[in-house]
C-alpha cells in the first residue's frame, strides 16, 4: 500500500506525503516498536483484577504522520490557557453563579443534581482552602469556506479527569523519532526535515508538576497522592506514567490507586483534623497513610455512582483536608451548561474584569487582565445557546448547523445535526424540559482535505482516511479562596480522528494521536 495523496484545498498542504510500500513497512515497524518500547500503550482486555495482573498491551492508536496545524492558532490558544484557568477558578469560587445555573439543571439531570446538592450540603464545612485544576481546553479548526483564514474554536473545557497528558507526550516523542529516523519521512519535503516543525510537548511532566505542587503545598512529606480510578479502565498506562513521573521527581512521594467502591471501605477521616487516611501496608512508618491530594480519574459520570453509596464516599473525601483535583465545585464549573451561560453577553467581562473577583492570579509577570484578553478568549467561541423555546426553534429549523449536548463527559453523548429533531421528538415526561438539560452548539467545521494513516490499537495495517484533529491545551491551576498559587499552560494533545462521523468514529473508545506539525504559513 502506498499513500496516495488526498486533494487538499489551496490553503492546506496535500497530506500525507507519499511513501512507497517498502517505506511504509519500515515506518510501521519503527512506529510500533517505538510505541511499545516507550509505553505509548493501552491495556488489552480483560481488565486486571487482584491476582490477575495485566500481561498484554497494544500500541495505542496512532497517526503514522504528524498532522499539519497552523502555528499561529496553536500558539494563540496556548497563550490563552492561563486566562481560561483564571476564568474557571473564579467560576468555581462563585457559589451564587453555580447555584443559579444548577437550580435549573438539577431539576432535569439526576447526576448533576446529586453533584450540586452534595456539594451544597458540605460546602460550609470545608477545611481545605486550596483546590487543584488539571484542565484541558479542546479546540477544532474552523473553516468558514469563504476564503477567510482558518479560525480556531473551542469544543469544550474539561475540569475533571482530563486524560492523555502522558500518552500525548509520548506521541510527540514518537513523531520526532520517526522524523529523525527516516530523514524527514524519506525526504518528503524540507519542512519535514526541520525539527522545529515538531514542537516539543511536556504535557506529562507539566501535569505531574501540578499534582506535586499541590502535594508540596499540603506540606506533609509522608502524605501520599490518591488516584481515584475506574475498575475497568484500559487507559491505565497514561495514569501510571503520571505516578512514575511523580515518584521520579519527588523523593518519598507515593501514589495509591483505588476505585470509589474500594474507598467506601478503606477511607477514614479523622474527626478533629479532617485528615484523610488510607490503609497502606507498604508504609514504613504506620499502618495508615495520610492523603495530601485526591486526583480523580473517575467520578465524572453516573456509571461511577451506580449503587448510590459512592456519593457518601465522594462527600467524605470532599470534606477531608486533602486537596481535591478537582473539587466538586470545579467539576460543576466544567459542565457544558456553564460553558453556554458564560457565552451570554457580559458574563465574561464580569468574571475576568469584575472589581470584586478574587485575585487568583494570572501567571508570572502577565499583569492585569484587560478587555483585549476578554476579546481574544471570546474569539475562540462559536455559537452556544440554551435549549429554550428559541433554541428549540433554531434546532428544528436548521438542525444541520448544530450539535445538541447533554451535561455529560467522556464522549458518545451528543446528538448531531439531522438526528436532533427525531431525538427531541422522542423525549418524554420531564425529559421534554430541555432548557436546562441540554445546550445547543453551532457545529465547528474543520477544513477538509487533510488525510493521515491511522493505525488502530492491536492492528497491523493502517487506514488512509480523511481526518479531523482536535487540539487540547492542558492547564494547571492551584488556587484558594482569594489567591492563586500556580497558573500554567501545561502542554498539548492532538487527537487525530477519522472524519467519517461527527464524533470522529473510533474516537470514543480509541482516540487517535498525532503530533502537531505546526507550519507557520498555513
Binding site for ligand ADP (CB under 6 A): 138, 140, 155-156, 403, 405, 409-411, 413-414, 441, 443-444, 470, 503-504
CA distance 121 to 95: 13
SS3 annotation, 330-359: HHHHCCHHHHHHHCCCCHHHHHHHCCCCCE
Catalytic one of 156, 205, 310, 318:
156
CB of 158 to ligand ADP, least distance (A): 7
Q: Does 289 bind Mg ion (CB under 5 A)?
A: no
CA distance 458 to 461: 10
CB nearer to ligand ADP: give 156 or 489. Answer: 156
Q: Is 388 a catalytic residue?
A: no
| Cβ-contact 207, 491 below 8 angstroms | yes
458 phi and psi, to 5 degrees?
Answer: 85, -5
Residue 148's contacts (CB-CB under 8 Å, 6 or more residues apart) are none
Catalytic one of 39, 410, 480, 505:
410
CB nearer to Mg ion: give 409 or 445. Answer: 409
Largest CA distance in the chain: 69
Question: What does 443 bind: Mg ion, ligand ADP, none (CB cut-off 5 to 8 Å by kind)?
Answer: ligand ADP
CA distance 399 to 150: 24
| Cβ-contact 260, 298 below 8 angstroms | yes
Catalytic one of 163, 320, 469, 487:
163
CB nearer to ligand ADP: give 156 or 310. Answer: 156
Report which of 139, 12, 5 is spatially closest to residue 70, judged by C-alpha positions: 12
Question: What does 128 bind: ligand ADP, Mg ion, none (CB cut-off 5 to 8 Å by kind)?
Answer: none
CB of 132 to ligand ADP, least distance (A): 20
CA distance 258 to 241: 16
**Interacting residues with Mg ion between 124 and 163 (CB under 5 A):** 156, 158
CB of 428 to ligand ADP, least distance (A): 24
Catalytic one of 136, 275, 319, 499:
136
Q: Is 472 a catalytic residue?
A: no
Catalytic one of 78, 170, 297, 405:
405
Question: What does 503 bind: Mg ion, ligand ADP, none (CB cut-off 5 to 8 Å by kind)?
Answer: ligand ADP
Cell of 234: 484500559
CB nearer to ligand ADP: give 34 or 153. Answer: 153
Report which of 169, 66, 62, 136 is spatially closest to residue 513, judged by C-alpha positions: 62
Q: Which helix (H) or strand (E) holds 244?
A: helix 236-249
Residue 161, sorted as left (phi over 0), alpha (psi -120 to 50) or beta, turns out to be: left
**Parallel, antiparallel or unpaired: strands 288-296 and 323-325:** parallel
Cell of 144: 468558514
Question: What does 94 bind: Mg ion, ligand ADP, none (CB cut-off 5 to 8 Å by kind)?
Answer: none
CB of 104 to ligand ADP, least distance (A): 20
Catalytic one of 85, 106, 158, 235:
158
Give the burial class of 408: count Cβ atoms within 10 A of its Cβ; 0-12 exposed, 13-18 middle, 19 or more buried.
middle
Question: What does 413 bind: ligand ADP, Mg ion, none (CB cut-off 5 to 8 Å by kind)?
Answer: ligand ADP
Q: Does 434 bind Mg ion (CB under 5 A)?
A: no
Q: Is 405 a catalytic residue?
A: yes
CB of 497 to ligand ADP, least distance (A): 7
CB nearer to ligand ADP: give 73 or 255. Answer: 73
CB of 301 to ligand ADP, least distance (A): 9
| Cβ-contact 241, 41 below 8 angstroms | no
SS3 annotation, 427-468: CCHHHHCHHHHEEEEECCCCCCCEEEEEECCCCCCCEEEEEE
CB nearer to Mg ion: give 164 or 479. Answer: 164
Catalytic one of 153, 495, 497, 499:
495
CB nearer to ligand ADP: give 268 or 414. Answer: 414
CA distance 122 to 489: 31
CB nearer to ligand ADP: give 14 or 414. Answer: 414
CB of 442 to ligand ADP, least distance (A): 6
CB nearer to Mg ion: give 246 or 437. Answer: 437
Q: Is 499 a catalytic residue?
A: no
Q: Is 442 a catalytic residue?
A: no
CB of 256 to ligand ADP, least distance (A): 27
Bridge partner residues of 59 (DSSP)? 41
- Given 18, 99, 262, 409, the residue binding Mg ion (CB under 5 A): 409
Q: Is 495 a catalytic residue?
A: yes
Catalytic one of 78, 321, 336, 497:
336
| Cβ-contact 395, 120 below 8 angstroms | no
Count, residues in the chain: 522
CB of 156 to Mg ion, least distance (A): 5
Report which of 347, 431, 436 is spatially closest to residue 391, judged by C-alpha positions: 436
Cell of 357: 473577583
Question: What does 209 bind: ligand ADP, Mg ion, none (CB cut-off 5 to 8 Å by kind)?
Answer: none
Q: Is 136 a catalytic residue?
A: yes
Q: Does 502 bind Mg ion (CB under 5 A)?
A: no
Q: Which residues bind Mg ion (CB under 5 A)?
A: 156, 158, 409
Kindly list the catalytic residues: 136, 156, 158, 163, 336, 405, 409-410, 495
Amino acid at each position: 500500500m502506498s499513500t496516495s495523496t488526498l486533494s487538499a484545498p489551496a490553503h492546506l498542504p496535500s497530506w500525507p506525503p507519499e511513501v512507497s510500500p517498502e517505506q511504509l513497512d519500515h515506518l510501521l515497524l519503527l512506529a510500533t516498536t517505538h510505541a511499545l518500547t516507550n509505553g505509548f500503550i493501552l491495556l488489552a482486555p480483560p481488565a486486571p483484577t487482584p491476582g490477575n495482573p495485566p500481561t498484554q498491551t497494544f500500541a495505542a492508536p496512532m497517526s503514522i504522520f504528524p498532522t499539519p496545524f497552523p502555528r499561529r492558532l496553536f500558539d494563540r490558544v496556548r497563550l490563552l490557557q492561563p486566562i481560561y484557568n483564571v476564568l474557571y477558578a473564579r467560576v468555581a469560587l462563585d457559589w451564587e453563579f453555580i447555584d443559579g445555573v444548577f437550580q435549573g439543571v438539577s431539576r432535569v439531570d439526576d447526576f448533576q443534581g446529586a453533584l450540586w446538592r452534595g456539594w451544597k450540603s458540605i460546602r460550609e464545612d470545608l477545611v481545605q482552602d486550596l483546590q487543584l485544576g488539571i484542565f484541558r481546553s479542546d479546540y477544532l479548526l474552523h473553516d468558514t469556506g469563504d476564503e477567510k483564514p482558518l479560525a480556531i474554536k473551542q469544543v469544550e473545557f474539561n475540569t475533571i479527569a482530563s486524560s492523555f497528558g502522558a500518552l500525548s507526550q509520548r506521541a510527540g516523542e514518537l513523531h520526532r523519532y520517526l522524523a529523525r529516523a527516516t530523514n524527514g519521512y524519506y525526504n518528503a519535503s524540507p519542512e519535514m526535515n526541520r525539527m522545529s516543525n515538531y514542537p516539543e510537548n511536556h504535557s506529562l511532566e507539566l501535569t505531574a508538576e501540578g499534582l506535586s505542587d499541590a502535594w508540596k503545598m499540603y506540606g506533609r512529606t509522608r502524605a501520599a497522592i490518591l488516584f481515584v480510578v475506574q475498575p475497568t479502565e484500559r487507559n491505565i498506562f497514561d495514569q501510571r506514567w503520571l505516578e512514575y513521573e511523580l515518584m521520579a521527581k519527588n523523593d518519598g512521594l507515593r501514589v495509591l490507586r483505588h476505585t470509589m467502591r474500594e474507598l467506601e471501605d478503606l477511607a477514614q477521616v479523622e474527626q478533629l483534623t479532617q485528615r484523610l487516611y488510607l490503609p497502606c501496608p507498604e508504609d514504613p512508618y504506620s499502618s495508615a497513610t495520610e492523603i495530601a491530594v485526591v486526583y480523580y480519574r473517575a467520578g465524572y459520570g453516573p456509571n461511577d455512582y451506580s449503587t448510590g453509596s459512592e456519593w457518601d464516599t465522594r462527600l467524605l473525601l470532599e470534606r477531608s483536608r486533602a486537596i481535591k483535583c478537582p473539587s466538586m465545585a470545579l467539576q460543576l464549573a466544567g459542565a457544558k451548561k456553564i460553558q453556554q451561560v458564560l457565552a451570554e453577553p457580559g458574563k465574561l467581562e464580569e468574571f475576568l474584569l469584575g472589581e470584586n473577583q478574587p485575585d487568583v492570579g494570572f501567571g508570572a509577570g502577565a499583569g492585569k487582565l484587560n478587555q483585549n484578553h476578554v476579546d481574544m478568549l471570546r474569539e475562540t467561541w462559536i455559537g452556544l445557546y440554551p435549549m429554550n423555546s428559541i433554541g428549540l426553534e433554531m434546532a428544528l429549523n436548521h438542525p444541520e448547523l448544530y450539535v445538541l449536548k447533554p451535561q455529560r463527559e467522556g464522549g458518545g453523548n451528543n446528538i448531531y445535526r439531522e438526528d436532533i429533531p427525531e431525538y427531541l421528538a422522542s423525549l418524554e415526561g420531564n425529559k421534554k424540559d430541555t432548557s436546562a438539560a441540554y445546550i445547543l452548539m453551532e457545529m465547528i467545521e474543520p477544513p477538509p482535505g487533510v488525510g493521515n494513516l491511522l493505525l488502530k490499537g492491536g492492528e497491523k495495517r493502517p487506514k488512509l482516511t480523511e481526518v479531523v484533529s482536535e487540539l487540547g491545551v492542558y492547564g494547571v491551576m492551584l488556587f484558594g479562596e482569594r489567591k492563586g498559587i500556580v497558573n500554567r499552560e501545561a502542554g498539548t494533545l492532538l487527537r487525530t480522528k477519522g472524519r467519517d462521523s461527527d464524533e470522529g468514529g473510533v474516537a470514543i473508545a480509541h482516540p487517535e494521536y498525532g503530533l502537531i506539525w505546526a507550519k507557520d504559513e498555513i
